[in-house]
Chain A
Amino acid sequence: DAGVIQSPRHEVTEMGQEVTLRCKPISGHNSLFWYRQTMMRGLELLIYFNNNVPIDDSGMPEDRFSAKMPNASFSTLKIQPSEPRDSAVYFCASSPVGNYNSPLHFGNGTRLTVT
């Protein structure tokens, strides 16, 4: 199994630009999570999908952030417009079971830098 695949690995953009991060979960996993990692705030859950349906988006910082999961094998996290404080590593994770009480399999992340 290839594991959770995220792209791009690195993204550098200017403030105000739109950024789209992509994730392919492990085949057969029906839950997908987007996390953000920073030195100050650690690992924060942004949003969680179960069977392609958003279940909990209370961690999405503001309306500039949006996430979609059009099918079981693909999800996107979009930031529009981007701001320097959005600079972080964004991780996607998937799980075979649809709740928080099961192991998460993380991708290798996208390092986002907004200048």
Chain B
Amino acid sequence: GENVEQHPSTLSVQEGDSAVIKCTYSDSASNYFPWYKQELGKGPQLIIDIRSNVGEKKDQRIAVTLNKTAKHFSLHITETQPEDSAVYFCAASTGGKLIFGQGTELSVKP
């Protein structure tokens, strides 16, 4: 079936460094790609999303890029801060559903 692969599963960076999380998807018809941040004991929260008619989108320290030809998209966090530590999920609308990646646990060390 359709799936979304997310890498890496864990990522540790120093405060101030950049962090990059990558996802690939299998359904070429996918046209919506959100990213969620999940803190301990809470539900996932949308942090940024991108649609297939756009190649890049930025919101302050967060950016997402999309390569439809290669079927992959990435989350970029610049100037990381300790409060960025959380689990991040990518997702793709595929096969009539929103399919989530397995998550990346980001740790930002002060």
Q: Which residues of chain A have a CB within 8 Å of any CB of chain B? A: 4, 42-43, 45, 56, 59, 91, 93, 100-109
Contact between A101 and B43, CB atoms less than 8 A apart: no
Residues of chain B with a CB closer than 8 A to A104's CB: 34, 44, 46, 98
Contact status B46-A103, CB under 8 Å: yes
> Cβ of B93: which chain A residues have Cβ within 8 Å of it?
100-101
Least distance between A103 CB and chain B CB atoms (Å):
5
Chain B positions within 8 Å of A93 at CB level: 43
B10 located at the interface, meaning its Cβ lies under 8 Å from any Cβ of chain A in the complex: no
Return chain A residues, CB-CB under 8 Å to B49: 103
B interface residue count range (under 10 / 10 to 19 / 20 to 34 / 35 or more): 20 to 34
Over the window 84-101 of chain B, the binary record of Cβ atoms lying under 8 Å from chain A Cβ atoms (1 yes, 0 no) is 000001000100111011
Q: Does B42 contact A (CB under 8 A)?
A: yes
* Interchain CB contact (< 8 A) of B43 among A59, A102, A109: A109
Bound Cα distance A43, B6 (Å) = 13
Question: In the complex, are the beta carbons of B103 and A106 less than 8 A apart?
Answer: no
Interface of A is mostly: loop
CB within 8 Å of A: which residues of B? 31-32, 34, 36, 41-46, 49, 51, 89, 93, 96-98, 100-103
Q: How far is the CB of A95 from chain B (nearest CB, A)?
A: 10
Smallest distance from the beta carbon of A6 to chain B beta carbons, Å?
8
Q: Evaluate contact between B41 and A108: CB separation under 8 angstroms.
A: yes
Given contact pairs A59-B97, A106-B45, enumerate 15 new A-B contacts (beta carbons under 8 Å): A42-B101, A43-B44, A43-B89, A45-B97, A45-B98, A93-B43, A100-B97, A101-B31, A101-B51, A102-B32, A103-B46, A104-B98, A106-B36, A106-B43, A109-B42
Smallest beta-carbon distance B97→chain A, Å: 5
